[in-house]
Amino acid sequence: MSETRTDKAQRLADTGCVQAVRRYPNYIKAQVTGTNDLYNVIVFFDGYYSCTCKWGQCRSISKDFCSHAIALQLTLEKETS
């Protein structure tokens, strides 16, 4: 029953865990309620991201998105479609 990162992101997006979405010229910022905590996520339009979760702190210099960053993207796609 291991949930993939994309599954988790979809669940976060579907259950309204992505909140306080703010758009800036070069990035989008949001707060995502995770399993135990609230995370501050920033997704930059150049494809990189930043997140205060453990995964994000290790990997935010890459484009290997954490579930919170993916959830933010999914939420935005839903809004614009």
Binding to Zn ion by residue 56, rule CB under 5 A? yes
Q: Show the site string, 15-54: x = touches Zn ion by CB under 5 A, - = not.
A: ------------------------x-----------x-x-
Among 9, 17, 60, 68, binds Zn ion (CB under 5 A): 68
Binding to Zn ion by residue 66, rule CB under 5 A? yes
Report the distance separating Cα 80 and Cα 57, nearest Å: 28
Measured from the CB atom, the residue of 33 and 81 that comes closer to Zn ion is: 33
Q: Are the CB atoms for 31 and 39 separated by under 8 Å?
A: yes
Q: Are the CB atoms for 50 and 41 separated by under 8 Å?
A: yes
Report the distance separating Cα 49 and Cα 36, nearest Å: 21
